[in-house]
Amino acid sequence: MTKGKKLILLLITFIAFTGYNNCFAQNADIDILKSINPQNPNSLYWRTTSTSAYYVAGAASFGTLIYGLASNNETAKRNGLEAVINIGATEFFTYVVKIGVNRTRPADRYPNDVFVTSPTHGQSFPSGHSSLAFATAATLSIQYHKWYVTVPAYLWASSVGYSRIYLGKHYPSDVLAGAAIGIGTAYAGHWLNQKLFKKHIVTTPNHD
C-alpha cells in the first residue's frame, strides 16, 4: 500500500473511531470544555483568531494562485492550485463527517454549562474552523519546508482550535478531529498532486 493510501485509510479510521467513541469520551470532553470556556467568552482576541481561519486560508490558497497567475510564476501557481484543492477537499470531507456523525453543539446540549456570545446550531463534530486552519498549516509546511513557516503556521492553527473551545462552539474532540482531517487531507492532496504532476511531465510530448 502506498504512502498516500495509508494516510487516507488512517484518516478515515481515526474519524470513524472518534465519532463512534464520542459517547464514551463525553464526560472528559465536557469537563475540558468547561475548564476553558468562561461565562463571558467575549474576547476580541479569540473571536478574531477564530475568524482568521477563513482569511488566512483564502490568502494562502487563492491569494497564492492569483499571484502566480499574475506574475506567471509556475511554483506559485502549482502551490496555489494545490492549496485550493486541499482546502476544498477539507471543507467537503468535514461537511460529510458532520452530517454522518450529527453531533449536537455543546451549548445546545449543555445550555447551563457552556456559554457563547452568539448561538451556533447545527453539527458540532468535527470543527470546520480547525480542519480549515490545519489544512492550511499542513499545506504551507509541506510546500515550503522551512521551520519559520511551519512553526508559526501550526501555532496559529492550534490557536484557532483553542479559540473554538474557548468560545464554546466545539468540544475538544471536535477540534482534534478537525485537525486530523485538515492535516490528513493536505498530505493526501499533496501526494495526489505529485502523482498527477509527474504523470503530466512523463506524458507530455517533447517538441524539441
| 110 lies in some domain | no
Cell numbers representing residue 60 in the block: 494562502
Q: What is the pLDDT of residues 7-18, one digit of tens each?
A: 555 555 555 545
Q: Is residue 78 part of a domain?
A: yes
83 compared with 200, residue with greater pLDDT: 83
Task: Report how far residue 113's alpha carbon sits from residue 201's, in angstroms, rounded to the nearest whole number.
Answer: 57
Output the average pLDDT for the chain.
84
**Domain-located, residue 27:** no
**What is the tally of structural domains in the chain?**
1
pLDDT of 196 over the 80 cut:
no
For residue 1, being part of any structural domain is answered with no
CA atoms within 13 A on the CB side of 170: 25
**β partners of residue 104:** 123
Confidence (pLDDT) at 27: 80
pLDDT score recorded for residue 208: 46
Query: Does residue 48 lie in a domain region?
Result: no
DSSP 39: S
pTM for this predicted structure: 0.82
Please check whether residue 46 lies inside any domain of the structure.
no
Q: Convert the pLDDT of each residue in 63-89 to its tens digit.
A: 999 999 999 998 888 889 889 999 999
- Across 53-62, average pLDDT: 93
The verdict on residue 22 lying in a domain is no
Residue 152 lies in a domain: yes
According to the model, what pLDDT value does residue 23 have? 47
State which residues form the domain around 64. 53-105+123-208
Tell me the C-alpha distance between 141 and 50, whole Å.
21
